[in-house]
A and B are shown apart, each in its own frame.
Chain A
Amino acid sequence: MSVDAKTVRKIARLARLEVSDERLEPLAVELNNLLGWIEQLNEVDVDGVLPMTSAVQTEPHLRQDQVTDGNIRDQILANAPKTEDGFFVVPKAVE
């Protein structure tokens, strides 16, 4: 599997990262180098192996379904780049 400039553009789009046109080719080379190195995983026999999901198997804790926190609007907004009347202000998202 080899990545070309077109694929790099698509990945960058999915990742919401702005990439200039002249960076597409160099990035493709870089990603291919890494992916080429990762390819060696195909040598491993993983037939019948279940993907690992946790290091130490334990029973997950359940808690009461109740509100444990809240009423901290001002704390939450304190770090926002833009706010107004107790709301986040974001660029227009719906036409």
Chain B
Amino acid sequence: MTDFTKLSLSEAVAGLRSKQFSSRELTAAHLEAMEAARSLNAFLLETPEKALAMADAADAKLAKSEGGILEGAPIGIKDLFCVNGVKTTAGSKILGEFIPPYESTVTGNLWADGAVMLGKLNMDEFAMGSSNENSAFGPVINPWQRDGSNTALVPGGSSGGSTSAVAADLCLAAIGTDTGGSIRQPAAFTGLVGIKPTYGRCSRYGVVAFASSLDQAGPIAKTVTDAALMLGSMCGYDPKDSTSLDVKTPDFVAACTRSLKGLRIGIPKEYRMDGMPSEIETLWEQGTQWLRDAGCEIVDVSLPHTKYALPAYYIIAPAEASSNLARYDGMRYGTRVDGADLNSTYERTRAEGFGEEVRRRIMIGTYVLSAGFYDAYYIRAQKVRARIAEDFRNAWEVCDALLTPTTPSAAFGIGEVSDDPVQMYLNDVFTVTANLAGLPGISIPAALDHQGLPLGLQVIGKALDEETCFAVGATIERAAEFNAKPTHWW
């Protein structure tokens, strides 16, 4: 008998279409795996009844040879996306028992294409974090462990529930969001593919806002083709999001088989960081060689403002977050903690409802936006951001895409890094630049390190050129032959 949970999304969709198995069978197998994996804390809410009802509806369509590109495929949803009638928490206590009476455009697109929802996935509170230790509902555990050790490792963040669930074969694919690396970094930590598309490709309507000028949705999947299939469904112009781009969605799956002959790949020298493990450096060189072998021309490029990306991000993102999160006042939805008067009700509601990292970022954001500091901090950061975007534009004069490591380390243990915020922020040093410049970036699992943990390579493309990201990503995937899976211990 096939173990349905071991299938890739593309294999599952093909099997459903050729009636080798039903969506009910496939969905039931995943629900069973979810139940057996609760120790990972990947799901905040399991929705088995909804899943089976959606599976039956999909089976009815498949029986008539109808249905969309994801018909009958069970997936997981990061708990930042509003799904009509399903409790949404954003990983925070402040939303209380919030049940959205509307649907995010991205999840609506997935349901329209036939996807089946298994449940809502754990995450860092309001997507603020790189380890999923900031969830109000407890950390998520990475299914991967170091060789010969049972130390609990983080799955990365903020989309840590999404990556843990896909890596443990609890869902065929999942969706996440990426504001500074929150799809790509956890994908790298769990041996998965994750892509953040160009800013504006995916509608932000119905996605709980963190930093509006940086937030983008994207898929987390087992293969590059699976990620392409998912992203194709998620994208599209949406009049409900004024930053949504009115552009045609290309055939991302077709791009995965494109030849790379003559493509110019840039290697940015500033991504060679002090103290970076030599294995990551070696993997980067290996990746470069794979692309050379595939017919690419390799060029050295310089992105001189790279080192300023994280500090700029830690002005812009908290500033936008402090403004976005002002809506959580305990009046119209969410939890209310009564105080002596209106102001103290606000203050107590927010102090008790938000976790430590969220409060820290609201404070920073409020400070940098406060009277007298706005120009010195926020405007300066937006100017530095323009410089960073300019670096990329200059690079595109001589290359078509960039190859970099995804993260400066493999997954770390729970509690190993969380004491020092800046140390934690450095996780996003290679991913945050693409958010600031609005560019697409994909992470592909490429090797195991000496401890047996996955490492990823990142491809950054020009704006709206996800196709090249997928083409290069698929080539790396074929060359790396990465097929390691975590040992089943949970």
Residues in chain A within 8 A of chain B (CB atoms) = 1, 3, 7-8, 11-12, 14-19, 27, 30-31, 33-35, 37-38, 40-44, 46, 49-56, 58, 60-61, 63, 72, 75-76, 78-82, 88, 90-93
9 contacts between A and B (CB under 8 A): A1-B373, A37-B311, A38-B314, A41-B311, A44-B305, A55-B439, A79-B334, A81-B330, A91-B339
Say yes or no: A56 contacts B200, CB within 8 Å.
yes
As a 0/1 sequence over residues 299 to 334 of chain B, the CB contacts with chain A under 8 angstroms (1 = contact) are: 000000101100110110000001000100111111
Say yes or no: A18 contacts B367, CB within 8 Å.
no
Contacts A41-B380, A52-B383, A55-B463: A17 and B354 contacting too (C-beta < 8 A)?
yes
Say yes or no: A18 contacts B348, CB within 8 Å.
yes
In Å, the complex CA distance between A34 and B341 comes to 33
Interface segment among B68-76, B103-111, B158-166, B358-366: the answer is B358-366
Say yes or no: B421 contacts A34, CB within 8 Å.
yes
Q: A55-B200, A81-B330 are in contact. List 7 more A-B contacts (CB 8 A).
A: A7-B367, A11-B370, A34-B360, A37-B314, A46-B387, A58-B246, A76-B101
Q: Which of A15, A37, A52, A63 contacts B422 (CB 8 A)?
A: A37
Say yes or no: A33 contacts B200, CB within 8 Å.
no
Instruction: Output the least CB separation between A5 and chain B (Å).
Output: 13
Residue B336 at the chain A interface, CB threshold 8 Å:
yes
Residue B286 at the chain A interface, CB threshold 8 Å:
no
In Å, the complex CA distance between A44 and B464 comes to 28
Listed residue (B336, B348, B367, B379) with the most chain A CB atoms within 10 angstroms of its CB: B367
Q: Which of B344, B381, B463 contacts A56 (CB 8 A)?
A: B463
Instruction: Output the least CB separation between A45 and chain B (Å).
Output: 8
Q: Which of B101, B239, B346 contacts A63 (CB 8 A)?
A: B239
Say yes or no: B312 contacts A41, CB within 8 Å.
yes
Residues of A within 8 A of B326 (CB): 16
Residues in chain B within 8 A of chain A (CB atoms) = 96-99, 101, 198-200, 213, 239, 242-243, 245-246, 305, 307-308, 311-312, 314-315, 322, 326, 329-336, 338-339, 341-348, 350-351, 354, 359-360, 362-367, 370, 373, 376-377, 379-387, 389, 421-422, 436-439, 463-464
Closest 7 CB pairs of A and B: A55-B438, A51-B382, A79-B333, A18-B351, A46-B383, A18-B347, A75-B101
Say yes or no: B334 contacts A52, CB within 8 Å.
no
Contacts A60-B242, A75-B101, A93-B342: A41 and B362 contacting too (C-beta < 8 A)?
no
Q: Which of B101, B329, B367 contacts A3 (CB 8 A)?
A: B367
Residues of A within 8 A of B436 (CB): 52
Residues of A within 8 A of B437 (CB): 55
Say yes or no: B389 contacts A55, CB within 8 Å.
yes
Residues of A within 8 A of B421 (CB): 30, 33-34
In Å, the complex CA distance between A41 and B305 comes to 10
Contacts A72-B101, A91-B345: A52 and B389 contacting too (C-beta < 8 A)?
yes
In Å, the complex CA distance between A63 and B96 comes to 35
Instruction: Output the least CB separation between B402 and chain A (Å).
Output: 16
Instruction: Output the least CB separation between A20 and chain B (Å).
Output: 9
In Å, the complex CA distance between A37 and B330 comes to 34
Contacts A17-B363, A38-B315: A52 and B98 contacting too (C-beta < 8 A)?
no
Residues of A within 8 A of B365 (CB): 15
Say yes or no: B322 contacts A15, CB within 8 Å.
yes
Residues of A within 8 A of B348 (CB): 18
Instruction: Output the least CB separation between A73 and chain B (Å).
Output: 11
Nearest opposing residue in chain B for A50, CB measure: B386
In Å, the complex CA distance between A10 and B344 comes to 14
Say yes or no: B311 contacts A40, CB within 8 Å.
yes
Say yes or no: B386 contacts A52, CB within 8 Å.
yes
Contacts A78-B101, A81-B334: A34 and B345 contacting too (C-beta < 8 A)?
no
In Å, the complex CA distance between A12 and B373 comes to 16
In Å, the complex CA distance between A31 and B246 comes to 40
In Å, the complex CA distance between A72 and B243 comes to 26
Say yes or no: A34 contacts B347, CB within 8 Å.
no
Listed residue (A15, A58, A81) with the most chain B CB atoms within 10 angstroms of its CB: A15
Nearest opposing residue in chain B for A15, CB measure: B366
Say yes or no: A41 contacts B381, CB within 8 Å.
yes
Contacts A16-B329, A49-B383, A75-B101: A61 and B347 contacting too (C-beta < 8 A)?
no
Instruction: Output the least CB separation between A62 and chain B (Å).
Output: 10
Instruction: Output the least CB separation between A48 and chain B (Å).
Output: 9
In Å, the complex CA distance between A49 and B366 comes to 24
Nearest opposing residue in chain B for A34, CB measure: B364
Say yes or no: A40 contacts B422, CB within 8 Å.
no
Say yes or no: A78 contacts B99, CB within 8 Å.
yes
Say yes or no: A56 contacts B438, CB within 8 Å.
yes
Instruction: Output the least CB separation between A67 and chain B (Å).
Output: 15
Say yes or no: A16 contacts B243, CB within 8 Å.
no
In Å, the complex CA distance between A79 and B365 comes to 28
Q: Which of A34, A38, A79 contacts B98 (CB 8 A)?
A: A79
